[in-house]
Amino acid sequence: MTKSLKLILSALLLLSAVPSEAQPLSTSIKFATWDGAALLAKAEQSLKALPAKEADALRALLTSTGPSRYDDRAGAWFKSFRKDDLKPVADYAEASLRAMAEAGDAAAMWHLHFVLTQRIATGDEGFQWLDKAAKQGYPRAVFDVTKQQLKDQPEKLRAAMEGFSQQENDAGLQALYWFAYGHDKGQDGLPKDAAKAADYRSRAKALGDKLHAADKAK
């Protein structure tokens, strides 16, 4: 991790305890119009070689505009980046995320980080975008940075995870799954306890359903 991540750790830990409704709503930023028409045209050309159903599915991911647009772009990239004939699809998906991230959209920053860290050559840049998203208070980025920074400090890590688990956002969801897995395996200083693991998984599912419903309602 970069030196800058270490410097902001204390601030991030404080932020993790702030209720989700009090955190910055980074995803509401209105980003400047990005003209990706040329890249999209190339992507469309490559889609013509696919069966209609598969092409339609990828096209929908590339052009979605709702709350799932970040996951959709990342999904399109993941489905295409290993296939030479679909490289234009991956290029458009990555460029679209980058345009949103460069305009200040923290959710796009986190998803661009995910895409870039799948390759060694772009990994360092990916973690820089994670750093930027965390500085904006994007919950999942704060969670990821904190988890990495405290991986060798189990007591502080558990305390941070407890704080995250009280939040009704993606950081809270990840923390609940962290506790479920820890109790299931008996790791990270958590006792092996099937009942607690099941309870945390149940809470995670309920929160996941709630967050999904909230996204659909937007």
Cα 71 to Cα 63: distance, rounded to the nearest angstrom: 12
Question: Percent of the chain beyond pLDDT 90?
Answer: 81
Question: Is the pLDDT assigned to residue 3 strictly greater than 60?
Answer: no
In tens, the pLDDT along 13-59 reads 334 333 333 333 333 444 446 789 999 999 999 999 999 999 999 99
Cα 174 to Cα 160: distance, rounded to the nearest angstrom: 12
Torsion of CA 167, 172, 173, 175, to 10 degrees: -150
Cα 190 to Cα 112: distance, rounded to the nearest angstrom: 33
Question: Is the pLDDT assigned to residue 174 strictly greater than 60?
Answer: yes
State residue 25's pLDDT score. Answer: 36
Helical spans, DSSP H, in 48-193: 52-63, 69-80, 87-102, 106-116, 123-135, 139-149, 154-165, 170-185
State residue 181's pLDDT score. Answer: 97
State residue 12's pLDDT score. Answer: 39
State residue 17's pLDDT score. Answer: 36
State residue 35's pLDDT score. Answer: 86
In the structure, what pLDDT confidence band is assigned to residue 9 with cuts at 50, 70 and 90?
Answer: very low
Q: Side chain identity at 184, as an amino acid letter?
A: D
State residue 217's pLDDT score. Answer: 86
Instruction: Pick from 12-16, 160-164, 185-189, 211-215 the range whose average pLDDT is largest.
Output: 160-164
Instruction: Pick from 10-14, 16-20, 188-192 the range whose average pLDDT is largest.
Output: 188-192
In the structure encoding, which two tokens stand for residue 198, read together? 């099941």
Question: Is the pLDDT assigned to residue 218 strictly greater than 90?
Answer: no
State residue 193's pLDDT score. Answer: 97
Neighbours of 14 (CB within 10 A): 10
Question: Is the pLDDT assigned to residue 2 strictly greater than 60?
Answer: no
Q: Side chain identity at 149, as an amino acid letter?
A: Q
